[in-house]
Structure 1
Amino acid sequence: MDRRSFLKIAAGTGLAVALPRHARAALPPYKGPFYVMISARGGWDPVYLCDPKPKGTFNRHYDYDPADPTAIGDIHYADIPVPANLVTDPMSLPYLMKNADFFAKYASKMVVINGLNMATNNHDRGVVTIWSGRGDGGYPNFAALVAATRAPEHPLAFISGGGYSGTGNLIPVTRLNSVTSFRKLAEPNRVNPADPNNTTTYLHEDTFARIAQAQQERLAAFKAKQNLPKIEAAAGQLYLARGNLDLLSSVALPDTLIDMPNEMGDLERMAQQTQLAMAAFTAGLAVGVNLELGGFDTHANHDTVQVRQLAKLLWGIDYVMSQAALAGIDSNLIVMVGSDFGRGKGYNGMDQGSGKDHWPVSSALFLSGNPGLLGGGGRVIGATTEAEQLPIGINPDTLELDESEDGIILTAPHVHLALRELAGVAESPAAKKFGIVTDMLPLFG
């Protein structure tokens, strides 16, 4: 690409401040921290995960005694079995992870927030709230905010495979749902980019390069004639996107994609998106990624469906962490797991097939291969009452439970303000543009 033309177009689109001083080939790789946002879409049940309750109104599936809890250190969990009849194909069982196994493996690397008041029972508002810190829309996903601050010029700075992908127009979002679709985008001249052994191209490389150059020149000429800012900006963004194809093709994608039984299709998609995310991270082209697993809206068959989806989710989180470890970036990775809201309070019927309805009180999990990034692992902040499943306030300084009127009820704005501080972007122009007004709590040290 002609550097003079590149900079001219970029300046015209208002992107000059985000461009490197040297040629694009010298774009420095982003080296972390990396952020993975995992959405349990539909409203999960923390009572069946990290906020256990005794058998009764809220739980009829496992035994729990607060006086003698099932716990790893300070983190209590619901000791729910994973019976074989949760799936129809026995080959699916290895892709389900029990709470006991998950917390035994990750409790020391984890921060749990319970009693999180989402202030909504609405799915759309809940999804926006948990990932942006505001429920009224327009605010960026936390990972997008960090990407816009740390590496706005990188072509895959913020990847979304589902969940809330709002960016506040700070940066583009890359919507890639699979490694196959990425290969097609990154190598448009390959006849079959999904086959690593087939290097056949539609055109000779020199011919393809001349066509690409002609497209860029035509696009630059088109942009130069535009007077409407939106059309001019869109043309410039397309110019930049096309110019990044060589960087995209440098991503070392896995030759073999994870394959699961048909009934595990939702988890397979999440796992394949994880493979793509790790490739983008290790290439230094991405800052954050959204992943999503649905199926948590359990108004019926709660004790079967919720348990199965949670077991899938925990396997998926474990896969993210293990793939990050294989890539050598787990100690430079922060994972957040959340949901639209919680479920409860209690069941909506007396029979075994009854479910739980929407409940605004939820939880969130944070993990890292280096718990020091989280201000220390093995911690639980917040709680809910046993009688009403309502949030209990905390002391804003010590984070200890405080049931007096001085106790602060945890909310998504509290979490996101602390996350911004953790990521070192709280004073960035992007964060100030999308300000969050609430108490600053030392959730992550």
Structure 2
Amino acid sequence: MSDASIRDSIHHRRDLLRLFGAAGIGLTATACADDESESEPPYDGPFYVVVNASGGWDTTYLMDPKGVGGINRLYDNGDILTEGEIKFAPTSKHITEGMSNEDFFARYAKELLVLNGLDYSVNNHSPCSRYMATGHLDSAAYPTFAALVAACRGPECPLSFLTFGNYSATANLVPMARVPYIQSLKLLANADSVHGATQHPYHDDFASDRIEQTLAKQNQRSATRSSLPRQKRAESMLYAAQWNSQSLSRITPHIPKSVPKDPLSQQAEIALASFKAGVCVSANLTVGQFDSHQKNDEDQMKLLPRLLASIDYLLRRAEELQIREKLVLVMQSEMGRTPNYNNGDGKDHWSIGSIMFLGPGIRGNRVIGATDDAQMPHPFDPQSLSLNPENGIRVRPEHIHIALRELAGVADHPFAERFPFKVAETEKLADLWGIGET
């Protein structure tokens, strides 16, 4: 292989670098790397997924059912169902596609932790989305939980923090990676092949080895000569593109041959393939249109079953990929819906809602917190987690985020300490995850 061909191949690497940059892939490399260097070992979990029902879900049609006071028009109080300790609204008679509450909770109640009566404090989309994502209402400087845990646990991963929309601030702790389509993932995973087709590589193995050796020597020479910081960083990033290309190639065996039609399930496939390949720590998944100011019941009965079906798809695929036991799942929305209907048969924004969790380190078949018949939260004791109307607290997103950081083992990480929450020790939720219980 001629030196000119090698130079042409290195130019291809620069094109690859631009492709990575468009996806937001983190490119970092040690300036003194030599030809003995190897790509980073695969990240082996745990993996974190935050599913956002963007727009504001109606929790009375899910995990906080109310059959009184005209809060809903599809069931009565006596119709409310129970699976284990979890009460839920009956939906099987009202849906035409997706997954009913009956099927979802029958399959997952034993693993689910439900928290009702979460106080969002405000009911505007933008601040609520930020509040739920970061745990801080008044600052745009805080990272989302998904970004923070990625920065703490796997900052060297090429796709450490994947996001598909919603509030996704990183506080510059970790790159924000966007891979919107499975075909985009295929191109990234097979960047050394024509149009991502592994059967059509740009070079044979011998040529690829020569390219890698040349790049390594070039990077080593640049490390020993004096140059401006900007130039040195650019050269380092070019070299990192080579190693990230090798890491991303591990995704290829896990890219599905058939693409699911549902957008949230497509997001799940991209995240799961990246998890399995060890190139991703966390993913922020999003499905929208829950803002049902008109025809609330009709819209929610379309969207909630689709959401549950996609979550079921995510969990079943994780099982097939043998990473289910490493997957932590947070299911949330930035607000709830009012306990009354407006003139358009819709429901408006409501600052009280619910959140669900599932995964390793979380004891399921539990419900913490509650709302009354007017859909207002019952205060509860943060130590015992039992209702305490007189001396209890209202649980807010910062309480949840403190607990999530502890669950992920990053509460004492320097990155987390840069973004503290002003919550008294006596207000922190003791053993929210139930791991201290028998």
TM-score (norm 2): 0.83
Measured in 2, the distance between the counterparts of 1:21 and 1:203 equals 22
1:381 corresponds in structure 2 to 368
Question: What is the aligned partner in structure 2 of residue 409 from structure 1?
Answer: 394
Structure 2 segments unaligned to the other structure (5+ residues)? 1-25
* Cα distance in 2 between the residues matched to 1:380 and 1:238: 50
The DSSP-based 3-state class of the residue aligned with 2:402 is helix
**Could you tell me how far apart the structure 2 residues matched to 1:395 and 1:15 are?**
46
CA distance in 1 between counterparts of 2:140 and 2:174 reads 16
Alpha-carbon distance change, 26 to 74 in structure 1, aligned in 2, over 3 angstroms: same
How far is the alpha carbon of 1:243 from its aligned partner? 3.2
Query: Could you tell me how far apart the structure 2 residues matched to 1:343 and 1:220 are?
Result: 61
Aligned counterpart in structure 2 of residue 41 of structure 1, from 30, 35, 54: 54
Per mean C-alpha deviation after superposition, the further-off stretch among 14-23 and 24-33 is: 14-23
State the TM-score, normalizing by the size of structure 1.
0.81
One-letter identity of the residue aligned with 2:104: F
Q: Equivalent residue for 2:200?
A: 200
Superposition deviation, residue 329 in structure 1: 1.6
Tell me the CA shift for residue 22 of structure 1: 11
Q: Which deviates the most, 20-29 or 269-278?
A: 20-29
Deviations 1:306-330 (A, max 9, x none): 1110000000111111111111221
Aligned to 1:248: 248
- CA 1:321/1:69 → structure 2, altered by over 3 Å: closer, same or farther? same
State the SS of the aligned residue for 1:153: coil
Runs of 4+ aligned residues of structure 1 deviating over 3 Å after TM superposition are 13-24, 201-228, 231-239
Letter in 2 for 1:56: G
Match of 1:158 in 2: 161
- Shift in Å, 1:428: 0.6
Change in Cα spacing, 1:294 to 1:169, as seen in structure 2 (3 Å) is same
Judged with a 3 Å threshold, the aligned counterparts in structure 2 of structure 1 residues 31 and 227 are, in CA distance, closer, same or farther, namely closer
Q: Does 1:73 align with 2:84?
A: yes
Question: What percent identity do the matched residue pairs reach?
Answer: 38
Preserved CA contact (<8 Å) 1:385 1:392? yes
Contact persistence 2:254–2:277 (CA under 8 A): no
From 310, 327, 335, the counterpart of 1:333 = 327
Q: Distance in 2 between matches of 1:300 and 1:292?
A: 21
Give the SS at the match of 2:156.
coil
Following the alignment from structure 1 to structure 2, what is the Cα–Cα distance between the partners of residues 78 and 27? 47
C-alpha distance in structure 1 between counterparts of 2:367 and 2:142, whole Å = 27
The equivalent of 1:272 in structure 2 is 266
Q: Tell me the residue number matched to 2:352.
A: 361
- Aligned partner of 1:118 in structure 2 is 120
What pairs with 1:236-315 in structure 2 (closer than 5 Å)?
Answer: 236-237=236-237, 239-251=239-251, 252-260=253-261, 268-315=262-309
Structure-2 separation of matches of 1:191 and 1:14: 22
Asked if residue 148 in structure 1 is aligned to residue 151 in structure 2, the reply is yes
TM-aligned CA distance change 1:112 to 1:172, over 3 Å? same
Number of residues paired by the alignment? Answer: 401
Q: What are structure 1's unaligned runs of at least 5 residues? A: 1-12, 87-92, 261-267
Taking the aligned partners of 2:45 and 2:181, their CA distance within structure 1 comes to 23
Letter in 1 for 2:331: V
Q: Aligned letter for 1:378?
A: N
1:27 counterpart = 2:40: yes
Structure 1 residues 191 and 234: alpha-carbon distance in aligned structure 2, compared to 1, 3 A threshold? closer
